[in-house]
Structure 1
Amino acid sequence: MPYYTKEQIQQARQVDLLTYLQRHNPEELVHVSGGTYCTKSHDSLKISNGKWCWWSHNIGGSTALDYLVKVCGYKLPEAVGMILGEQPQLSSRPVSKPPPKARPDFQLPERNPDARRVFAYLCARGIDAEIINHCIKSGQLYEDAKRHNCVFVGFEHGTAKYASLRGTLSHSTFVGEVAGSDKRYSFCMPLQANNRESVCVFESAIDALSYLSILKRKGQNWRSANCLSLSGIYRPKADAELKLPLALETYLQHNPGIQKIILCLDNDERGREAAQALQQCLHGYQVLDNPPPKGKDYNDYLQIQKGIAGRVKTRGGEER
């Protein structure tokens, strides 16, 4: 095992993960949007603003050294050598994955006494006030007391099991999950599926609420639609077995009457790839690919319809 001085270790600690991968392993980087990246090996590992977080394992850091040790399983001297260019690089040596960590206990953030910031934020994105209030009254949406994020809650038989977070500041692009969230029970509308044979599938809760707002604008009964958020999508890996997202697999198990699945995923590259992969997985169902007619996602499309595009900063970093 090579030996490195404290000065060399400190030098290695100065290198952030994005810089390291750009220099030594650029094929591992996948551009998500704006200044956000993920890795080809771990699509739940996001890199943004000089930091990284592996959401599925609830670990993160800022340096390439942390990544090589915590994610890739290298010993500290090996990782230092790789960063300093004195060891074989990540792409040229097999890496053993660290053992999966037990999911931390799930606990919802403390609820704010009111939801004024959440209500104002979602209204600014064009979502109908009646639909927002419905979600708040049902407990599926609230404002957290500490950071005033939107908290979108998913349930299993009336017990909260999942929560996604969305920042409410006008220029915020924050998106996250509460630690310990179980992706099998993502946000869906209504809590119990209507007696219908179809479900509309979205990447996020905001897209689902935007779609319901569009139905209401058309004079249709928004309460009759079954909508499911996947809480993000994955990029299918080449030559890997295609699998259903956990949220969709669980939803279909609990609602055996569903026969038609309408994929309302984004109009970007990842959304189109995911839609194509899902159509290959969903044997025995009628599957319809139904991206928004305009804009990147259904919230974009709603804002275009309402003439408010350009007022809200979204995850990708652009104002629209």
Structure 2
Amino acid sequence: MSFYDSETIERARQVDLFTYPQTCEPQELVHVSGNIYCTREHDSLRISNGKWCWFSRGIGGYSALDYLIKVKGCSFLEAMEAVTNGAAIAPTSHAFISREETPRHLLLPQAAPDNRAMLDYLKGRGISMEVLDFCVQTGRIYESRNKGHGNVVFIGFDKTGKARFGCLCEIGEARFHGDLSGSDKHYSFALPACMENPAVHLCECAIDVMSYATLCELDGIDWRRNNLLSLAGVYQPKKKMEESKLPVALTRFLEDHPHVKTVYLHLDNDTAGRLAAKAIMTVIPKEYEVKNRPSPRGKDVNDYLCNRLGIPIRGAKGKEQER
């Protein structure tokens, strides 16, 4: 059995998934467009800017080691042997680009010919057609497909309208979810920022944001006059709560919308959600007013919406946290 010192391991980690197949499996590297490549074996695995993302499985990484372990199923030692014996370990012009040095380039999966499966799925979660139509027309959601599997793709934009965040959720019972390669959680999924409204409503995930908008519609409230923002996943504060930082999505939103001074929290009714709400209320600057408003019934906003509409709620076993 081979053993590797820390220096060799670090050098191996610097070999990215563009350099490795060039050296070891050139027949596997397929050019898609520009600086984007895929592999012949997995056409939904995209390689770009020193990173890779396997869209059909919702996983990604920064190195050939990650790829060999996560995609090929190699053990760490098997992956190390393949990289050290097959690839040039000395960093090349493509070999290693640090996360800090690389501008994030969001890799979006190709859109499906239509959105039928996605719309059926989201309507089954109680989301209104008015909200769905808005999200489709503004490019906030679309359907992607890969080898028969349909996914909902959620997009977040910066204040200039550029897509900066993306995540996907598989349509079906056995779903996976994950952020897309190059996603920046500072710009998570959100619905209209109303410059006249001094409050923002904060939910955990994209579907909860859409659910809150639908609840507003049910109550005769114009949801387009609200600021609705998702955290793009579970927010985990530090053990010493006072040392926590605000979620990056909320920080960026407040910086970009200085007129907003009130934050409504609609986080999950579980231990993680309650802890997150407590942390945000603890560390947010005193100039902001925070109002904790978890859903009165159910685990999250979507559960409450389904309850109001009288439609089935997925059981705890199948409950996933879309982001």
Please give the TM-score of this superposition, normalised by the length of structure 1: 0.67
Equivalent residue letter for 1:253: E
CA distance in 1, matches of 2:302, 2:136: 19
CA distance in 1, matches of 2:316, 2:245: 33
What residue number does 2:32 align with? none
1:300 aligned to 300, 303, 306, which one? 303
1:288 aligned to 288, 291, 296, which one? 291
1:203-222 map, 5 Å: 203-222=204-223
- Cα pair 1:193 1:255 within 8 Å, conserved: no
CA distance in 1, matches of 2:225, 2:317: 28
1:93-104 map, 5 Å: 102=102
CA gap 1:317/1:107 in 2 versus in 1, 3 angstroms: closer
CA distance in 2, matches of 1:313, 1:228: 25
What residue number does 2:136 align with? 136
- Cα pair 1:162 1:183 within 8 Å, conserved: yes
Give the SS at the match of 1:142: strand
Please give the TM-score of this superposition, normalised by the length of structure 2: 0.66
- CA shift digits 1:162-221 (9 cap, x unpaired): 11111111x13321111110111111101x434200000011010011011111111111
CA distance in 2, matches of 1:209, 1:196: 18
CA distance in 2, matches of 1:315, 1:56: 30
Give aligned pairs, total: 241
Give the SS at the match of 2:221: coil
- Cα pair 2:189 2:206 within 8 Å, conserved: yes
Could you tell which deviates more after superposition, 228-237 or 200-209? 228-237
1:73-222 map, 5 Å: 102=102, 105-146=105-146, 147-156=149-158, 157-169=160-172, 171-190=173-192, 192-222=193-223
Give the SS at the match of 1:149: strand
Equivalent residue letter for 1:118: M
CA gap 1:204/1:310 in 2 versus in 1, 3 angstroms: closer
RMSD: 3.2
CA gap 1:308/1:112 in 2 versus in 1, 3 angstroms: same
Give the SS at the match of 2:275: helix
**Gapped runs of 5+ residues in structure 1?**
7-50, 71-75, 77-98
**Gapped runs of 5+ residues in structure 2?**
4-56, 85-97
- Cα pair 1:151 1:165 within 8 Å, conserved: yes
Equivalent residue letter for 1:165: L
Equivalent residue letter for 1:290: R
